[in-house]
Structure 1
Amino acid sequence: MNKILLILFFIGNILNTTIIRGQNTCPLIPYPQSSSRINETFQLSSRCVIVYTEEFESQAYLLQKELLRYTSIAVSTLPDKATLDSNIVYNVIKLKKDYKFKSEGYSLKMHTKDITITAGQPSGMINGVMSLVQLTRLSTLQNPLVPIECWEIEDSPLYAWRGFMLDEARHFWGMKKVKQILNWMALYKLNRFHWHLTDSQGWRIEIKKYPKLALIGGIGNYGEEYTPAQFYTQEEIKEIVTYALERNIHIIPEIDMPGHASAASKAYPEFSGGGSPKYPGYTFNPGKDSVYTYLTDILKEVDALFPSQVIHLGGDEVHYGNQDWNTNKDIQDLMKHEKMKNLKDVKNYFFQRMADSLLLIHNKVAAWDEVADSQLSPEHTIVFFWRQNRPEQLQKSLDRKFNIVLCPRLPMYLDYAQDTLQVHGVDWRKFSYNSYQKVYSFSPQDIPVKYPKNCNILGIQANLWTERIETEDRLDYMLFPRMAALAENAWTKEKNKNINSFNIRLKKQFNLYKKDHIYYSDPFTPKETGEPVR
């Protein structure tokens, strides 16, 4: 009998310890580098006031807006030099500066009567604000009057570049959807939005000097050649850029060249280098000087809209549609004059000239990993490694000391199936699948290359191509919850990552997705959210 009681005692202790550990696990995604539960709660109410130092004024207003959006509770803001009314008892949220926090680092200290967020830079303050917003949403989802659990957190990111790419050339999504995606990127502390705005199927950005690019090039999408033109005006672009920057998200626009240019060729065929029977009008013409003037004019307008000082020029898959270069007189004359041996030399010549144009307007050039074969300046170039079956392209980039963003198709292409249950879109039997677990566990060490000690890996990124995504439901389904897995992989140090802990925290996010009308994929009970066909 005593042995049985002793066994039961030990089992009870184990269960109790497990429960306590579960309660002491911070619910945030991405998981912070250091966190501890405080046995207190904070009551959000209209008697809360956000007190801020001068440099964090815009972050105070951001917190005010986000709390109002998600809880319908209006809190006030006040500069730290102002005086609170001594006749009113306030709960205070303080935004403070401390230079010990580098770049995006922050601390969050919560108690019953006050919360303090401390950071050294606005980017770090935004991360702290978003941690508080997420904790608030998780606590008050059912009732905004429910007290918020208190935590002490000290946090900073693993990678400086934590990116997501959205393809709007194949299918256009519009400002409302893009802002929703930016909201979730901010909540998950993703800080680079790579915006694929041009491709063969559509040109989605207004260029005032060449209006037909949007008016004609914006007609159609993937699979539907003659849908009405859809594109962003420059005023809409400015609004989205401002919205993103308020949330510590830098937008990297992509203007694809010299391939993937069919939409532009429809608008201004005089600048086309032709294509192939399967891909007509696929390229710009590297043999015409007027083409470089044309494209530089475009990039100058793009630069004026995007303050990131990085423009992505694509550079991938040119060989799909450059067969006409073999018979194009301008290009053949160029090859003779420059003593070029092949069409690859032509592409590299074109890219060098366009990179020089970007450098003159103080922009870095970003490009897919084909550019590793070029002679571009490593200091001013960012290579996006996407072909996991071509590790030599990453090795070349490392050896030449390019800045690098890792976004290999496996597992970082989010148009790929999430599991073997998916029946639409990219065939997982042929191309494999990218589960959220694979996104979560991806490591640079998975790629068979030799990393030098001080390699310039800026970070990681996931890409969502939309050839096979026609509706918002399917867009959501392919993006969530893999965005959460991406965020934790990019932010949280390996020693603090745990897939079991992540799964527990991820399940709590599903109610937030529902609240935001996001049609997410549920990997735990797949029947809960069936796969959208389109």
Structure 2
Amino acid sequence: MRLSRLAVTLVVALPLVTATASSGSPPGGAITLSDVIPAVAEAIPAPGDGFRLTGSTTITASGAATPVAGLLAEALRPATGLPLPIIAGGGAETIALVLEPGHPDEGYRLHIRSQGVELRASRPAGLFAGVQTLRQLLPPEIESKTPRRLRWVLPGGQIKDHPRYAYRGAMLDLARHFHEPAEIRRYIDQISRFKINHLHLHLSDDQGWRIEIDSWSRLTEVGGAPGTGVGGRGGGFLTKDDYRELVRYAADRHITVVPEIDMPGHVNAAQVAYPELTCDGKAPRQRTDMRVGYSSLCAHDETTYRFVEDVIRELAEMTPGPYLHIGGDEAMSTPHGSYLIFQKRVLPLVRKYGKIPYGWHEIAQSPAAAQTGAVIQFWGQESSHPAVATSVADGARVVLSPADRVYLDMRYDLLTPLGLAWAGHIEVRDAYDWDPGRLLYGVPEEKVLGVEAPLWSETLRSSADIEFMAFPRLPAIAELGWSPRSTHDWESFRARLGAYGPRWTHQGVRFHRSTQIHWS
């Protein structure tokens, strides 16, 4: 995966417009319903019927809709300077958030009129997705942290929207360089803007161990100590309380955390802490380089499975989400037969503790992947992978992360100051111009659970580094995961992305100003 291949009243008289009908607002132009990233499924504009936020505007919500209303008010108050109180009752000049049956999962309907705004969905996650759309329909200055003297007007009309894929993910590597909880929360806020709904945390590798495990306490004492990480500059780890708080924070933004413990390879940090996890019982030296493929758990030793079960059990206990990622990639030091023995033992352990097994596409070699209904994360660059196709045919599902399209740690070009290039250079158009439903031969679209953009941290040191590599490519991948295939259009996307740039500027996000985009 890295270096080695590294119910709204319908206005029926209005024409239906899909997101492809707009190439985005010109710089300084009026915002339209179709200027959103990811592109919306359907938009019905009603020119001249926009809604203006004033000192009299309220936000109406009750029950499970109230927390989403709180996040909306929190987002709009700083720049508008408006009180935007949240009330339970209705009335004029209100933004109403309503939960009701009948909408697609995570889908929503947004109806904007001069009298008020209605946002309707079946679940809070749908309301939250609608809120992200609503925020983009206001001027970019809405992202300012201090009041701005502007007319805050939402364009009139209706939007009907829902995701193409259930899984839309981003991955952050904490093992090669530890990112503090505050940095992770900042990234959660940023990815949620684009309807990303899973955050995959890579918590262990050869260079570090970043999650507290009570029954094997030296994992973090040694593997999270100062001097760990690539270059010896990435020490630190998450306590269980840190992790639980991040899971809660993400859940409030309708993002599910997917924890990963990489094994049977990528385990050098664990073996430094516990030499009994090696086949010869001798501790290896601590590694701070970027090499891969040299470490392995001993598949024929019961100590291995005691260790693995303890880690899976403790991680499952503090992870409410359905998935637990067990890595499985780049196990070049594990003989093939031993690899199959390991997966046969470990994949069912994930099910034993109530989670869906998840792993890099190498786990498809094992029949246990299909037998346990595992999710296979494909990171390859080829269009045909027989083992993955066979596993999918037998019951597994796939999340697509082709390294030459979505690995956010790849450089944009030769002059990019951060990142690697083993999978090539990835510009914004490279990240955007592919179809997840047609990527892998023998894997039908209905077996594709979604897409995920990994960000490995060998060269990263700060939130600014994370942002520079993730943006503007992550929104391209988010659009592939959310928007209907019929909306896929590079010219439209690049115009909408260029118009989004000022929002990042107001947020203080250090994004890469790709020359492929005309930035407003």
Query: For the superposition of Structure 1 and Structure 2, which TM-score range results when normalised by the shorter chain?
Result: 0.7 to 0.9
Q: Show the counterpart of 1:489.
A: 480
Aligned residue runs from structure 1 range 45-444, under 5 A: 45-68=54-77, 71-80=80-89, 91-136=93-138, 138=140, 140-141=142-143, 143=148, 145-151=150-156, 152-219=158-225, 220-225=227-232, 227=233, 229-273=235-279, 282-319=295-332, 321-322=333-334, 343-378=335-370, 380-389=373-382, 391-422=385-416, 425-427=419-421, 431-444=423-436
Cα 1:211–1:451, aligned 2, differ >3 Å: closer, same or farther? closer
CA contact (8 A) 1:388 1:447 kept: no
Name the CA distance, whole Å, in 2 between partners of 1:291 and 1:449: 36
Deviations 1:167-192 (A, max 9, x none): 11111121222112111221100111
Which structure is higher in helix share?
A: 1
Which structure is richer in relative contact order (CA contacts within 8 A, separation 6 or more)?
Answer: 2
Deviation at 1:159, TM superposition (A): 0.9
Over 3 Å counting, the alpha-carbon distance change for 1:459 and 1:169 in structure 2 is: same
Q: Any conservation in 2 of the 1:394–1:449 contact (CA below 8 Å)?
A: no
Query: Is 1:462 aligned to 2:453, yes or no?
Result: yes
Q: CA distance change for structure 1 residues 527 and 60 in 2, over 3 Å: closer, same or farther? A: closer
Give me the whole-angstrom Cα distance separating, in 1, the residues matched to 2:169 and 2:475.
Answer: 12
Quick one: which amino acid aligns to residue 41 of structure 1? G
Q: 1:494 and 1:213, CA in 2 relative to 1: closer, same or farther beyond 3 A?
A: same
Indicate the residue corresponding to 2:20 in structure 1.
none
Highest CA radius of gyration, 1 or 2? Answer: 1
Cα 1:291/1:241, change in 2 over 3 Å = same
Q: What SS does the aligned partner of 1:124 have? A: helix
After superposing on structure 2, the runs of 4+ consecutive aligned residues of structure 1 that deviate more than 6 Å are: 18-22, 274-281, 525-528
Contact kept in structure 1, 2:208 and 2:224, CA below 8 Å? yes
- Is the contact made by 2:106 and 2:162 (CA closer than 8 Å) also made in structure 1? yes
Displacement of 1:110: 1.4
Sort the Cα spacing of 1:281 and 1:360 in 2 relative to 1 into closer, same or farther, 3 A: same
The alpha-carbon distance between structure 1 residues 236 and 71, as it changes in their structure 2 partners (threshold 3 A), is farther
TM-score (norm 2): 0.85
Task: Tell me which amino acid in the other structure corresponds to 2:174.
Answer: E
Aligned-residue RMSD, C-alpha? 2.8
SS in 1 for 2:343: helix
Q: Which moved more, 1:254-263 or 1:517-526?
A: 517-526
1:31 aligns with 2:39: yes
Please give the alpha-carbon distance, in whole angstroms, between the structure 2 residues aligned to 1:402 and 1:170.
Answer: 29
Query: Whole-Å Cα distance in 1 between the matches of residues 30 and 83 of structure 2?
Result: 32
* Cα distance change on mapping 1:132 and 1:276 into 2, 3 Å: same
CA contact (8 A) 1:139 1:146 kept: no
> Shift of residue 271 of structure 1?
2.0
- Counterpart secondary structure, 2:261: strand
* Aligned equivalents of 2:468, 2:234: Cα separation in 1: 26
Q: TM-score under structure 1 normalisation?
A: 0.83
CA separation of 1:497 and 1:213: change in aligned 2, threshold 3 A: same
1:476 deviates by: 1.5
Q: Is the 8 A contact 1:439 1:489 kept in 2?
A: no
| Structure 1 residues 137 and 202, CA gap change in structure 2 (3 angstroms) | farther
Which letter does structure 1 place at the counterpart of 2:314? E
The match for 1:87 is none
In structure 2, C-alpha distance between the alignment counterparts of 1:141 and 1:465, rounded to whole Å: 28
1:67, 1:74 within 8 Å by CA — same for their partners in 2? no
Matched letter for residue 59 of structure 1: V
The alignment partner of 1:347 has SS state of: helix
Q: CA deviation at 1:240?
A: 1.1
Q: Tell me which amino acid in the other structure corresponds to 1:224.
A: G
Between stretches 384-393 and 197-206, larger displacement belongs to: 384-393
For residues 49 and 198 of structure 1, the distance between their equivalents in structure 2, rounded to whole angstroms, comes to 46
**Matches of 1:431 and 1:56 in 2, distance apart?**
43
Q: What CA distance in whole angstroms lies between the structure 1 residues aligned with 2:65 and 2:41?
A: 23
Unmatched segments (≥5 aa) in structure 2: 1-24, 286-290
Partners in 2 of 1:199 and 1:137 — Cα distance?
43
Retained in 2: the 8 A contact 1:140–1:146? Answer: no
**C-alpha distance 136-448 of structure 1, shift in aligned 2 (>3 A):** closer
Query: What is the aligned partner in structure 1 of residue 21 from structure 2?
Result: none
